[in-house]
Amino acid sequence: MPFLLFLAINLQVSSQTVTGLSIDSCYLKARRNFPMVKQFGLIEKTKNYSLDNVSKGYLPQVTIGGQATYQSDVTQPTLNSSLPGSGTTPLFETISKDQYKVYGEAVQQITDLFTLSNQKELVEKNAEVETHKLEVELYKLRERIDQVFFGILLIDQQIEQTKLIKKDIQTGIDKTNAAIENGTGLKSNLYLLKAEMLKADQRTTELTAARKSYADVLSLFIAEPVTESTIIEKPELPRFSSVITRPELEMYEIQKQVFDIQGNIVNTRNLPRFSLFLQSGVGRPALNMLSNDFDFYYLGGLRLNWSLSSFYTSRKEKEILGFNQSSMDVQKETFLFNTNLAVKQQFNEVAKIEELIKTDFEIIELRESIKTTAQSQLSNGVISANDYVIFLNAEDQARQNLLLHQTQLLMVLYNNRTTTGN
């Protein structure tokens, strides 16, 4: 019982050490580890700070001012008689020519309380545009992952096929050895088969080196080791799709919404600006112009400002925004045209590869029958080792073509997924 428990634990541990990678997991890991993904956090922080600044527009705007002036003349009273019983004291005091004022003013905008919502909406939509632009750039990672992932998958299948042809070569070597021992075989046939075995070994070396190169690139994308023991999982054949749901389409729509909001802001600039204000300070003279002493004062009320110059440019600004929206429509139309063109080409490519795969199976069946017959003929000395190798290579080439076409079909279908956004 302890031995069985130990064996079960070892089997469990060994099964856990074999790692596998699916195409979808590579998409997620590459996106998560790509440096550009950090910009999402920066966009969010920028949006929050900008919204906070816009919200400050609801608060009263406080200013502090002051002035010291000297003027060439002041108001002089026309009547400068003395008060009864006051001797020579003048009725009105003459105002000094040097005058001073220090004040603070608080202004509460009224019109902006109803128009700042457009500014906040513009900040949010601009952040959405930047986010979708980033999504578009990150989406392009899928094409690069497709190339690397299916490159490794094809090499793995080629390595397995090389193992199969080495088995067939070894079968030929065994039969030739038996024939030599029986005095019916030639050593030259044996040497030729061993040379073919060495060529197969070289091919395995080349494929292994190529796989490592692809694996190193994939490892950089997903930020985790991809070794010889990493299993590249062959995905299921996805369905072909012609419905386009790419992130670019949503980006175009949000950009058009930005232009609509900017048009609303142009309209609000033509509105009269109402505000409440309160001003308080110390001056000489203060509000009493007949007093030449420093005095405290305050005043408040309702203020109206209406800049009519905005009417000069608002119509042209709206036309420019309309042109920008039309330009965005043209960009979207061009994108859909190019994408639909690519989808059409992919459809034709899928149909071609499916037909090739159907023919590949028929060729392999025939080549395998020829090879099996050739094995018997080789053992009986009817054909030479060179003839056997020719038949063997022909079957191998047929199987290699099948692997290539199957992988190409997968790549085209997954490229279709990437192209359409499904």
Grade residue 84 by pLDDT with cuts at 50, 70 and 90: low
Handedness of CA 352, 354, 357, 361 (dihedral sign): negative
Distances from the Cα of 278 to the Cαs of 105, 106, 300, 367, in angstroms? 6, 5, 4, 98
pLDDT, tens digit, for every residue of 241-289? 889 999 999 999 999 999 999 888 888 888 888 888 899 999 888 888 7
pLDDT, tens digit, for every residue of 167-195? 888 888 888 888 788 877 778 888 888 89
Of the candidates 14, 407, 21, 13, the one whose C-alpha atom is nearest the C-alpha of residue 226 is: 21
Residue 120 confidence (pLDDT) above 80: yes
Of the candidates 187, 147, 69, the one whose C-alpha atom is nearest the C-alpha of residue 410 is: 147
Q: What rounded mean pLDDT belongs to the chain?
A: 84
- Give the pLDDT score at 378: 79
pLDDT, tens digit, for every residue of 2-35? 433 333 434 343 444 446 789 999 999 998 888 8
Q: What is the pTM of this model?
A: 0.74
Residue 165 confidence (pLDDT) above 60: yes
The structural domains of the chain, with segments of one domain joined by +, span 21-60+112-271+311-420
21-60+112-271+311-420: CATH, from 3.10.450.50, 1.10.8.60, 3.30.420.40, 1.20.1600.10 = 1.20.1600.10
CA distance linking residue 30 with residue 355, whole number of Å: 34
Task: Please say whether the beta carbons of 116 and 272 come within 8 A.
Answer: no
- Give the pLDDT score at 89: 56
